[in-house]
Amino acid sequence: MGQPGSVVPMWGTGTGTGRRAWVAVTSTLVLLATGCGGDGSSTGAAPATELAATASTAQAATASVGPTTTVLVTYPPNGQVVEVQALDNRFRVEDITVEAGTEVRWTNVGRNQHNVVAIARTAADVWGVEDVDFQPGQSYSHVFDHPGVFEYVCTIHGVEGVGMIGSVTVTG
């Protein structure tokens, strides 16, 4: 998924548009980054350190270039950890809100096997753990590196929207 703090292109299936879209998005990001900051005495070009800082601290965003291209801005791990317990038949806390870059750790503190299965997975949002790796006493962690709402379910004790469910809302 690229380096932490990097812009990750996700191309559609259009023919010939991928490279042109990447160049357009990259050029736009460079122009935006060089136009920001400075004391007015520079020549308009931002030093490499400013560009790197801008890329790693930028507000998360997606940009569409044409009908099939999306750019996803990711955040590096921020060192924060939020705990979620898998009890028998429910998650404690079911719904949490974290900043992008936060690690969420699920621990099975119940007596039964559980799993954590993401709902509506996309190529950029593949995460979760199956029951064979999440027995009582075991933990599973995932760093949420971009904003969004990520719903999940224990498919042994629930289905989408009912039963043992939860969500992680990630802010930028």
Pick the last residue of a domain from 73, 102, 122. 73
pLDDT value of residue 98? 98
| Residue of 62, 66, 96 whose CA lies nearest to 81 | 96
Pick the last residue of a domain from 27, 47, 73. 73
| Residue of 120, 125, 146 whose CA lies nearest to 61 | 146
User: Could you tell me the pTM of the whole model?
Assistant: 0.60
User: Could you give the 3-state DSSP secondary structure of residue 169?
Assistant: strand
Q: How many domains does the chain have?
A: 2
Same-domain check for residues 94 and 65: no
Q: Classify residue 86: in a domain, yes or no.
A: yes
Q: What is the mean pLDDT of each run of 10 residues along the chain (172 residues)?
A: 41 36 37 40 39 38 60 92 96 97 98 92 82 96 95 92 94 94
Domain boundaries, position 145: 81-171
Same-domain check for residues 51 and 130: no
Pick the last residue of a domain from 50, 73, 96. 73
